[in-house]
Amino acid sequence: MTQTKTSLHYLKGFLREDEIHAMQSKANIAYQQLVNKTGKGNDFLGWVDWTETFDMEIVSRIEYQAAILRKKSQVFVVIGIGGSYLGTRAVIEALGNPFQLGNASLGSPQIIYAGHQLSEDYHAQLLNYLEDKEYSLAVISKSGTTTEPAVAFRMLKTHLEQKYGKAEAQTRIVAITDARKGALKKLADDEGYATYIVPDDVGGRYSVLTPVGLFPIAMAGFDIRKLLEGAKNMRTQLLKSSIVTENPAIEYAIIRNLLYQKGKTTEILVNYEPRLYYLTEWWKQLYGESEGKENKGIFPAGISLTTDLHSMGQYVQEGLRNLFETVLSVEQPVQTLSIPNDPDNLDGLNFLTGKRLSEVNKMAELGTILAHADGGVPNFRITIPQINETTLGELIYFFEFACGVSGYILGVNPFDQPGVEAYKKNMFALLGKPGFEKETEEIRKRI
């Protein structure tokens, strides 16, 4: 049984029960398209049954190799972009200590990211930082030719070989790539890198529970078996029924589509734990890339509260009423911290003496939900008991499944991303890439 719960309580006044149930037949079709793999993009639905079909011997191999690399790495660099980066970082940041360079109790390295943008300063500073550090890396790319990670890997590979010599550098590089083809696959075979497979039938934004995410997460010292177990638990629950009252992912997919039909074109994922910041970033890619096509789709945004109440709170409360919020709520923190008494009470906060900080945070959450609902912003709530590997596995699978159903209800292919290539063509033309001569000439006339 999963630990993740949903609540429609703060949608009262925005949606009626009969509207939700009227969407059931459409949701049933979308559900069957996803589960039976008959809908658009069905060649990228391997993630649906991944927890059942994945070879657990690969998990053992990942754990074994990660343990070896951890012993000789102060830093582990993860090279990837988009789906090869965000899910991994979401899990590691959620489970980690922000004031600790790596999981010190397990002797784990600091996890650093590269190839997720093209900043010269960032990558120059990274190379300088690594000068006196023992490090290793994973390069994650199905093709090996995606510009951002390919450029970063070229630089880091050179740096590693100069620092350790080619033979030792080869032992410090892990390639996560295509099983049979591509530039990175050829290089990995030629150089003898340890290699793991990006599955052909799993798209990048759905790949965090594959070796794409599992190897870096294991390097960070976290339990990837529990992560997979959480996803498996959620899969079991979601495959039992497509009835809205029995399936939280169907419920979420229906709710967001109904609100979209009512003019709520922006969804804000709200968290009250800063450790969930990158889960929000992963969620934004998942839903934005899956649904934002054919001139339709909900715009996914995110805010971290209570921090953003002092910046974006005004807009959410009184701005354009095209918003709805999905609140990611955590019942219990891992740590315990109470507010002390102050004899002078100059700040007037002695009424909080002895209360746990989490209680204050929870009352801020509830107060904000009520205020935003009163201000015309519907709120859908998703609750987990605590942040750990199991609950994160549940959340990841929940959001992935709901995204597939929601995309099918919307009438788009949730598993392609044709618009992503548009900027690349312009960039290659401007850089003078061979084969783009005609485009180069045309585009230079426009700038």
The answer to whether the CB of 405 falls within 8 A of the CB of 250 is yes
Long-range own/partner contacts, residues 309-317 (CB < 8 A, 24 or more apart): 309/364, 309/368, 313/368, 316/268, 316/372, 316/375, 316/377, 317/371, 317/372, 317/375, 317/377
Name the nearest CA neighbour of 399 among 421, 382, 411, 378.
382
**Integer Cα distance of 255 and 417 in angstroms:** 24
Name the nearest CA neighbour of 60 among 222, 231, 218, 229.
218
Token pair belonging to 354:
């002895």
**Integer Cα distance of 58 and 42 in angstroms:** 25
Does 424 qualify as catalytic in the annotation? Answer: yes
Is residue 104 exposed (0-12), middle (13-18) or buried (19+ Cβ within 10 Å)? exposed
The answer to whether the CB of 320 falls within 8 A of the CB of 374 is no
Q: Which of 168, 424, 425, 437 is catalytic?
A: 424
Q: Which of 120, 310, 421, 445 is catalytic?
A: 310
Name the nearest CA neighbour of 129 among 75, 79, 72.
75
What's CA 368's distance to the chain center, in Å? 25
Q: Which DSSP category does 435 fall into? A: T
Does 166 qualify as catalytic in the annotation? Answer: no
Query: 389-410 and 277-291 helices cross at what angle (nearest 10)?
Result: 20
Q: Which of 267, 289, 291, 400 is catalytic?
A: 289
Does 40 qualify as catalytic in the annotation? Answer: no
Name the nearest CA neighbour of 210 among 36, 84, 112, 40.
84
Q: Which DSSP category does 339 fall into? A: P
**Integer Cα distance of 166 and 394 in angstroms:** 41
**Integer Cα distance of 38 and 59 in angstroms:** 30
**Integer Cα distance of 99 and 102 in angstroms:** 9
- Residues noted as catalytic: 289, 310, 424
